[in-house]
Amino acid sequence: MLDLRGVQQPAIATSLPRAESLTSTRAGRSSKQRPGLRPLTYPEAMTDLDLRPVGRVESSLRDRADAPRQGDEGAPDAWIVIDAACAPALAGLEAGADVIVLTWLDRADRAVLAVHPRGDVSRPVTGVFQTRSPDRPNPIGLHRVRVLAVEGTRLHVRDLEALDGTPVLDLKPVLGDVGDR
């Protein structure tokens, strides 16, 4: 479970404290206090999340430096391998479908709050919520892919720039026009 109570907000919104600098507020313990930081507060309903990957990515992309910034900028074909327990969730998914893949960008820096878009220092620093940077407080990747083949629990896809081993959180269909839904 992810406990957001006690997470500290930096005085300048460019980064969050690293996870190892936090302690739990459960069982009467308080979080570490750092100079210039104030606690973030979240409604009680938003303090715990339980995400479980439904699969993982198999790709020739192993290093972030080799990955395109977006899937349609030269990503190699890849495979999404769905956990056998989730196999029934693939019913109806066919080659040719456009799908949104949600991933957990497990190699991202969760402390980053602002970046130069696309790493271009000539562009002004922008908050990550206005960019597609993988480095962000909750590094959820959003990828539009085309399904090339479905082989059991393996999906062959195009335009997926996620690295090999990236956890897959969910798949959702791309919606067409209102009348076609």
Residue 179: its pLDDT value, please?
83
Residue 150: its pLDDT value, please?
98
What is the b/e burial string over 74-108, where b = at least 16 CB atoms within 10 angstroms of the residue's CB?
Answer: ebeebbbebeeebeeebeeeeeebebebbbbbeeb
Question: Mean pLDDT, 10 residues at a time, over the chain (181 residues)?
Answer: 39 38 36 51 66 96 83 87 97 97 94 88 92 92 97 97 96 89 72
Q: Where are the domains of the chain?
A: 1-50, 55-180
Residue 35: its pLDDT value, please?
54
CATH of domain 55-180: 2.40.30.70
Tell me the β-bridge partners of 155.
Answer: 80, 150
Residue 45: its pLDDT value, please?
56
Residue 159: its pLDDT value, please?
95
Pick the closest to residue 138 from 115, 111, 166, 165 (CA basis). 111
CA-CA distance, 132 to 139, in Å (whole number)? 10
Residue 71: its pLDDT value, please?
74
